[in-house]
Amino acid sequence: MIELKNVTKVYSGGVKAVDNLSLSVEKGEIFGFLGPNGAGKTTTIKMIVGLLKPTSGQIKVFGKELSKEPEAIKQRIGYVADEPLVMEKLRGYEYLNFIADVFGVPSDVRRERLERLLADFKLKDAIKDPVSSYSHGMKQKLTLIAALLHAPDLWILDEPIVGLDPESAYILKKMMRKHADSGKTVFFSTHVMEVAEKVCDRIGIIGKGKLLFVGTVEELKKARGEESLEKLFLEVTESEMEATDFSYLDAD
Ligand SMILES: Nc1ncnc2c1ncn2[C@@H]1O[C@H](COP(=O)(O)OP(=O)(O)OP(=O)(O)O)[C@@H](O)[C@H]1O
């Protein structure tokens, strides 16, 4: 479904954000992409959705080479960025209709899907309001709905859970499971270990642009011992947090 082969991205300033990364994500799975801040998750995701070009390496999605058939691939992807960027001057429904037009969603299908998605994410009441009046979480839900409107085969979600209220997070996790169980694919990044542990079929851990682990959480635990995923994550990414002395924060 997604295949990255020796993918490297060096930004113009010289930062090597992704370093010779090879990874396969299978059809029908929820794949969680984990890594500390600045590890290269967003850069990888932006390359998979065709927003950034790799410096070297090859990316295939749906068995097609991204550099050769970008449009055909993008039509089948639903992408949510880590920062909800919505045209603020539009009203919610204007934005969603604009996106549905871009993806050519027929009006009857659009109406039905919108009805369901707006109800599920409790955004029905706000849909007539200008996006500029939305909270961060509401904008996030709007971009999620926009990404799912054309019923994409592949969902690519950059930090989709943080910022959502518990009910919306629960609904999204359920939707992700249903999507994968119907033979489709979900690739998402997260910092939240609990989400990764509960929701993902497999995880990939990235640190300083390099892939440090790929497999199931059980495999990770087997390889490293029965620790909490959080502790394993810190170990794998060689975090120094365990050894840090925080006593300087205490009052005398
Ligand atoms: N446009 C850019 N130009 C130069 N360097 C960049 C650019 N975008 C990201 N970087 C650098 O590339 C590295 C990887 O960043 P990236 O945003 O991919 O990490 P991330 O894992 O998504 O982090 P976070 O969890 O904080 O969102 C970082 O060192 C970052 O400073």
Residue 75, pLDDT above cutoff 70: yes
Tell me how far the alpha carbon of residue 73 lies from the centroid of ligand 1, in angstroms.
24
Ligand 1 atom showing the smallest separation from residue 191 Cα: 25
* Chain mean pLDDT for the chain: 90
Among 42, 192, 211, the mutation site with the greatest number of ligand 1 atoms within 8 A of its Cβ is 42
Q: State the Cα torsion 97-155-137-145 to the nearest 10°.
A: 20
How many residues are present in the chain? 252
Q: What is the mean pLDDT of residues 223-234?
A: 79
Q: Which two tokens mark 108?
A: 């009857």
Tell me how far the alpha carbon of residue 113 lies from the centroid of ligand 1, in angstroms.
34
Ordered domains of the chain (ranges, CATH): 12-76+153-242 (3.40.50.300), 86-152 (no CATH)
Residue 77, pLDDT above cutoff 90: yes
Tell me how far the alpha carbon of residue 15 lies from the centroid of ligand 1, in angstroms.
9
Could you give the CA distance from residue 19 to residue 9 in angstroms, rounded to a whole number?
7
For residue 211, list its beta bridge partners: 206
| Ligand 1: residue whose CA is nearest its atom 31 | 38
Output the pLDDT for position 106.
Answer: 94
Tell me how far the alpha carbon of residue 122 lies from the centroid of ligand 1, in angstroms.
32
| Predicted model pTM | 0.91
Task: Identify the residues whose C-beta falls under 6 Å from ligand 1.
Answer: 11, 13, 15, 17, 35, 37-43, 82
| Ligand 1: residue whose CA is nearest its atom 30 | 38
> Considering Cα of 186, then 187, then 189, then 193, what sign does the dihedral take?
positive
Tell me how far the alpha carbon of residue 233 lies from the centroid of ligand 1, in angstroms.
19
Among 7, 34, 43, 83, the mutation site with the greatest number of ligand 1 atoms within 8 A of its Cβ is 43
pLDDT digit string, tens, across residues 191-214: 888 888 889 999 999 999 999 999
Residue 240, pLDDT above cutoff 70: no
| Ligand 1: residue whose CA is nearest its atom 28 | 38
Tell me how far the alpha carbon of residue 188 lies from the centroid of ligand 1, in angstroms.
16
The answer, yes or no, to whether ipTM is higher than 0.95 is yes
Residue 243, pLDDT above cutoff 70: no
Output the pLDDT for position 195.
Answer: 86
